[in-house]
Amino acid sequence: MNIMQYESKVWSTADSLIGAGIKQSDFPKFMMPFFALIFMESRLLRMKEELENSGDTLSKEDFLEEIKEERKGYNIYLFEKGKRLKDICKNDKTFEIDFDAYLKGFDSETKDLLGIDKSNEEEKFLDISGICGQLKKKKIFFAFVKGWSEIDLKPFNNSEITTLEEHIKRKWADISAETAGEQYTPDDVISLMSEIVISKIEKNNEFLTIYDPCCGGGNLLFGVEDRIKEISDRPIATYGQDWSDSLYALAKIESRFRENSSIEYGNTLTSTKFYDKEFDVVFTNPPQGISWKDFSKDIYNDKTGQYYFYPSKSDGQLLFNQHIISRVNHNGFAVVVHNGSALFSGDAGSGESNIRKWLFDNDFVEAIIQLPTDEFFNTNITTYIWVLNKNKSNEKKRKVILVDASSKFVLLKKNKGKKRKEIDEDNRKDILKTFLEFKDNSYSKIFDRAYFYFNKQAIILTNVDENGNSFEKLLNGKKGLILDAKKVIQKTENEEIVIDKFSIADFDKEKYNSLKSYFESIKQELSNINYKENLKVETPDAIYYFDNEKETLIKEVDGSKKGLGCGKIVIKSTYKKATKSKGEEIIISVELTSDYEKDYEIIPYSENESENKNNIENFMEKYISKPFKYAGNVVGVEINFNKVFYKSEKLRELNVIIDEIKTQDRELKQLEEELGL
């Protein structure tokens, strides 16, 4: 039997939802509890059958006690009355009473997960009781449940059910209003991630511990586990955590019927349930572009020591990288899906850049693989697989391989939401071969880690005039030259600003309630003055202004003009409180100062300190012509696939383009003649 025959049967249960006017985007919340219900029943019945066939002769009481001791779940109707969901649905007259008793017959943990008779204050997880209430209002309760009762999952093992569940969850993700950051991982990406994991694990009899900190409904976690088991007898223990009520419940229920599986509920970033464990392998597809603002206080106060830097609050995916590294054991590795912002968002010194630098400084990054666009169901953005490794081989130390697998796909015959492409088996083998060989080829390149670093060098430039002169030279170390100003005039298109009082003690008492409030008005007005726009300062001896064309301060005496070099005219206002000898006043001063400008230069980086210093100095000598002072250096890290794998288009020959234009001209003239124009 092929379990996929039930995919259409599962979706046929939604027919009654359509007839009741329930929005398609709401289908998952109605279907999830019942998929979990029939899965739960099938596993309990399978467990009962296996115990019956074990050859042990047990009394009924001992038999039931042994089932309870399995701690995988219990249901009074199934084990004590011998009735399944399909039996309850045979009598529509007693159905509601029987179904209610059937739900209440589950063990307490299952009732919690399914959300049976939970109060408003409690976690409802799948909230099956609430969903049943809505189905009753819509008059489709019996028909909907009966449809589910006809789906028999008992003959299939966990792996087969996971395969069906992956397809069903994918459709739920497709039709629900999930954001692009809440991606459901498609089968082909799971297969590629699994093959990377399988290629790196040793074949021995030791327990392999695998962990997904954003496990959702478990499709990635259990999918990788099943693929490992296909090629290896190595025992596996799976661990996962998720914050989505319904998806956690699905994963938790499935984990009961898998050996050595532990699924926990909660926000992984603020409440890590496995804080005392380290794992051989971590893999995940964390939320992307999702804000962590609402729980930032808990992140900042984290006591586990897992966070070294904090990215922008609008996107927490790089927080997961730090969490992942904290959970990987000293010989372990991780395989993580990220979008492009994890590669390059944030300037040097930002949280994002510092997290990347921390990963590279510690030599955790082994590979980054660019996937094709249109790979996921609810977003067409480009995504990347990061391979993080705490135990890189000697030939890979301090090196990183970038793999551009953006063209390694086949087009789907029928789109699945926004998913138009698939990484088929041949392309997966090709990508894996390239990753393992760790060599340059047409779509992969090896780099020393320092290639991704850069200096962001801050400098203070001294602006100069057309002759290379600065007013700074005339100051001889002073900060500025205070002028004995008599009048300041600035003419604009709309008004003329005139300042001829430089000590002010009077003010309009109807307009201002104090000299201090008048001072605030003056300060605002002075901030609007631009020293480069028709501003003149008159002193008893000279007139000063800035010549825009020559970029220099001018001192004019009796019509004779002298350039002072590039500088600024600064007009300041100061409020002075009253003293015993003098009342309060506003002092306006005019000063000539040097014109400085802060700038940043992006310069290649070297891990050798003296070589890096030479890089900076050589860059400055080559590209910076103005006088400057160094003002601090920050080292950033970013990964730019477009730059690394850029392929320029070959320009066509000019004569070919001219021939095409001539051909189009002839065709247009012929068309005009045919139309009689």
The DSSP annotation for 410-472 comes to: EEEEEEETTEEEE--HHHHHHHHHHHHHT--BTTEEEEEGGGGEEEEEEEEEE---TTS-BTH
Strands 560-565 and 552-557, bridge-based pairing: antiparallel
Taking only the tens place, the pLDDT of each residue in 285-334 is 998 888 999 999 999 999 999 999 999 999 999 999 999 999 999 999 99
Residue 136 lies in a domain: yes
In this structure, the answer to whether residues 218 and 350 fall within a common structural domain is yes
In this structure, the answer to whether residues 419 and 280 fall within a common structural domain is yes
Taking only the tens place, the pLDDT of each residue in 344-361 is 999 999 999 999 999 999
Residues 187, 189, 195, 196: what is their CA dihedral angle, to the nearest 10 degrees?
-160
In this structure, the answer to whether residues 230 and 170 fall within a common structural domain is yes
Residue 138 lies in a domain: yes
In this structure, the answer to whether residues 16 and 143 fall within a common structural domain is yes
- Quick one: pLDDT band at residue 276, thresholds 50, 70, 90? very high
Measured CA to CA, the distance from residue 35 to residue 217 in angstroms comes to: 12
Q: Say what the pLDDT of residue 648 is.
A: 67
Instruction: At 530, list the tokens.
Output: 């631009």
Residue 410 lies in a domain: yes
In this structure, the answer to whether residues 49 and 126 fall within a common structural domain is yes
* 117, 149, 181 - which closes a domain: 149
**283: enclosing H helix or E strand:** strand 279-284
Q: Which residue has the higher pLDDT, 292 or 174?
A: 292
Residue 610 lies in a domain: no
Q: Which residue has the higher pLDDT, 232 or 174?
A: 232
Q: Which residue has the higher pLDDT, 374 or 520?
A: 520
Instruction: At 14, list the tokens.
Output: 């939604």
Strands 444-448 and 596-604, bridge-based pairing: unpaired
Measured CA to CA, the distance from residue 317 to residue 354 in angstroms comes to: 14
**487: enclosing H helix or E strand:** strand 487-491
Judge whether residue 178 has pLDDT over 70: no
In three-state secondary structure terms, 347 is coil
Q: Say what the pLDDT of residue 205 is.
A: 86
Q: Which residue has the higher pLDDT, 163 or 595?
A: 595
Q: Contacts from 83-92 at CB under 8 Å and sequence distance 24+?
A: 84/41, 84/45, 84/149, 85/37, 85/38, 85/41, 85/145, 85/148, 85/149, 86/149, 86/150, 86/152, 88/149, 89/142, 89/145, 89/146, 89/149, 92/142
CA distances from 73 to 41, 46, 218, 294 (A): 9, 12, 19, 36
Strands 399-404 and 365-370, bridge-based pairing: parallel
Average pLDDT of 137-142?
A: 95
Residue 423 lies in a domain: yes
Q: Which residue has the higher pLDDT, 91 or 674?
A: 91
Q: Say what the pLDDT of residue 207 is.
A: 93
CA distances from 401 to 324, 369, 375, 437 (A): 20, 8, 22, 10
Share of the chain above pLDDT 90, in %: 71
Average pLDDT of 456-482?
A: 93
Give the N- to C-terminal CA distance of the chain in Å, as an integer: 71
Taking only the tens place, the pLDDT of each residue in 189-215 is 999 999 999 999 988 889 999 999 999
Q: Say what the pLDDT of residue 180 is.
A: 42
Reference 643, options 591, 604, 589; nearest CA is: 604
In this structure, the answer to whether residues 402 and 488 fall within a common structural domain is no
Winning range, highest mean pLDDT, from 179-188, 356-365, 494-503: 356-365
Which value, in Å, is the radius of gyration of the alpha carbons in the chain?
Answer: 36
In three-state secondary structure terms, 194 is helix
* Phi–psi pair at 477, nearest 5 degrees: 90, -10
Indicate the number of domains in the chain: 3
Give one DSSP letter per residue of 552-617, joined into a string.
EEEEEETTEEEEEEBEEEEEEEEEE---SSS--EEEEEEEEEE-EEEEEEEEE--SSHHHHHHHHH
Residue 75 lies in a domain: yes
Q: Count helices and strands (H / E) in the chain.
A: 24, 24
Measured CA to CA, the distance from residue 552 to residue 465 in angstroms comes to: 5
pTM summary value? 0.84
Q: Within 13 A of 553's CA, how many CA atoms are on the CB side?
A: 26
Q: Say what the pLDDT of residue 179 is.
A: 47
Share of the chain above pLDDT 70, in %: 98
Average pLDDT of 606-611?
A: 95
Q: Say what the pLDDT of residue 249 is.
A: 93
Q: Which of 21-35, 471-485, 638-652 has the lowest mean pLDDT?
A: 638-652
Residue matched to tokens 């005339």: 474
Average pLDDT of 146-171?
A: 86
* 536, 566, 594 - which closes a domain: 594
Q: Say what the pLDDT of residue 142 is.
A: 96
In this structure, the answer to whether residues 438 and 484 fall within a common structural domain is no
Residue 93 lies in a domain: yes
Residues paired with residue 456 on neighbouring β-strands, in sequence order: 602, 634
Task: Kindly report the CATH number assigned to the domain that includes residue 221.
Answer: 3.40.50.150
In this structure, the answer to whether residues 435 and 574 fall within a common structural domain is no
Q: Say what the pLDDT of residue 376 is.
A: 81
**Mean pLDDT value across the chain:** 91
Taking only the tens place, the pLDDT of each residue in 488-500 is 999 887 788 899 9
In this structure, the answer to whether residues 89 and 117 fall within a common structural domain is yes
In this structure, the answer to whether residues 200 and 322 fall within a common structural domain is yes
In this structure, the answer to whether residues 412 and 518 fall within a common structural domain is no
DSSP 80: T
Judge whether residue 658 has pLDDT over 90: no
Judge whether residue 506 has pLDDT over 60: yes
Contact present, 538 and 488 (Cβ < 8 Å): yes
Q: Say what the pLDDT of residue 231 is.
A: 87
Measured CA to CA, the distance from residue 236 to residue 445 in angstroms comes to: 34
Taking only the tens place, the pLDDT of each residue in 625-651 is 999 999 999 999 999 998 888 776 777
For the chain, give the number of residues.
Answer: 677
The identity of residue 384, as a single letter, is Y
- Domain range enclosing 559: 464-594
Q: Which residues contact 389 (CB under 8 A, 6 or more apart)?
A: 200, 333, 334, 364, 365, 366, 396
Residue 361 lies in a domain: yes
Average pLDDT of 218-235?
A: 91
In this structure, the answer to whether residues 202 and 291 fall within a common structural domain is yes
Q: Say what the pLDDT of residue 181 is.
A: 44
* 594, 623, 643 - which closes a domain: 594
